[in-house]
Structure 1
Amino acid sequence: MPLSEHEQRMLEQMERALYAEDPKFATALEGSGLRTYTRRRVYQAVAGFLVGIALLMAGMIFTQIWLGVVGFLVMLGCAVLAVTGWRKAPKAGERQGRGGPSAGRQHRQRRSMMNRIEERWQRRRDEQGH
């Protein structure tokens, strides 16, 4: 059962109040922290790649083949993480707000969030009523 118009307006008011009171928290809930997350993931992957190189070199210096293999696998895994993280990262000029190119996708995500909230609300009402 969808929210009534009054409930919809109340929810929109609460959303606007959250943006006004704590915009940083509101954008974190909205998922705009994706750029920071992917950037951090790429940096971690690069650091892991360097550790993999060190392990590979240590395996060669100490003639421990297993250590060289582990280093190579670490390098390979980190390279894959860095490349996938780099591709997922939003471009520098791309806005992630309501007016950006991904606004339609965010609108759909917000709608699905609204559907989940509506379902939870309905479940609570049903549990209290019975």
Structure 2
Amino acid sequence: MPLSEHEQRMLEQMERALYAEDPKFASALEGSGLRTYTRRRVYQAVAGFLVGIALLMAGMVAQQIWISVVGFLVMLGCAVLAVTGWRKAPKPGEQPAGAPHGRRQVRPKRSMMDRIEQRWQRRRDEQGGQ
């Protein structure tokens, strides 16, 4: 369901406020990080798979079995990398798989949207009191 104009304006205001408050964090949310790295790794694996196909075909044309075997192994390795990389990609808002779990948190961790809403509400309260 698409957002209403009022909701879109509020979202734009929240984005501007986030950029004004913490531009480093806001730019980190735009797509850099683990998801982009994983996506890039999958694309590289697909390119490697295509190189493997080319080696396989070249080995068949040149009648060199070892080139075909190397091409097949490259294809197999890249296919495994692509599939495992795609499955390991974290969903938006999800904690990465390699994150440390050993420390115990004193207070429950709030979601990013909760923190943004809290900051937004605090800012509205401050502006309303002036």
TM-score normalized by structure 1?
0.52
Aligned length: 81
Q: Percent same amino acid at aligned positions?
A: 69
Q: Residue 85 of structure 1 corresponds to which residue in structure 2?
A: 85
Query: 1:86, 1:52 → 2: CA distance?
Result: 20
Q: Residue 120 of structure 1 corresponds to which residue in structure 2?
A: none
Q: Residue 22 of structure 1 corresponds to which residue in structure 2?
A: 24
Query: 1:61, 1:49 → 2: CA distance?
Result: 18
Q: Look up the equivalent residue of 1:68 and give its one-letter code.
A: S
Query: 1:107, 1:48 → 2: CA distance?
Result: 32
CA distance change for structure 1 residues 24 and 74 in 2, over 3 Å: closer, same or farther?
A: farther
Q: Residue 67 of structure 1 corresponds to which residue in structure 2?
A: 67
Q: Look up the equivalent residue of 1:57 and give its one-letter code.
A: M
Secondary structure at 1:67's aligned position in 2?
A: helix
Listed one character per residue, the Cα deviations across residues 13-47 of structure 1 (whole Å, up to 9, x for unaligned) are xxxxxx8252257x49xxx7110010000000000
Moved over 6 A (4+): none
CA distance change for structure 1 residues 58 and 90 in 2, over 3 Å: closer, same or farther?
A: same
Q: Look up the equivalent residue of 2:41 and give its one-letter code.
A: R
Listed one character per residue, the Cα deviations across residues 81-109 of structure 1 (whole Å, up to 9, x for unaligned) are 00100001123xx32xxxxx539x96848
What are the equivalent positions in structure 2 for 1:1-130 lying under 5 Å apart?
A: 20=22, 22-23=24-25, 27=28, 33-91=33-91, 94-95=92-93, 101-102=94-95, 108=101
Gaps (5+ residues) in structure 1?
Answer: 1-18, 96-100, 113-130
CA distance change for structure 1 residues 66 and 22 in 2, over 3 Å: closer, same or farther?
A: same
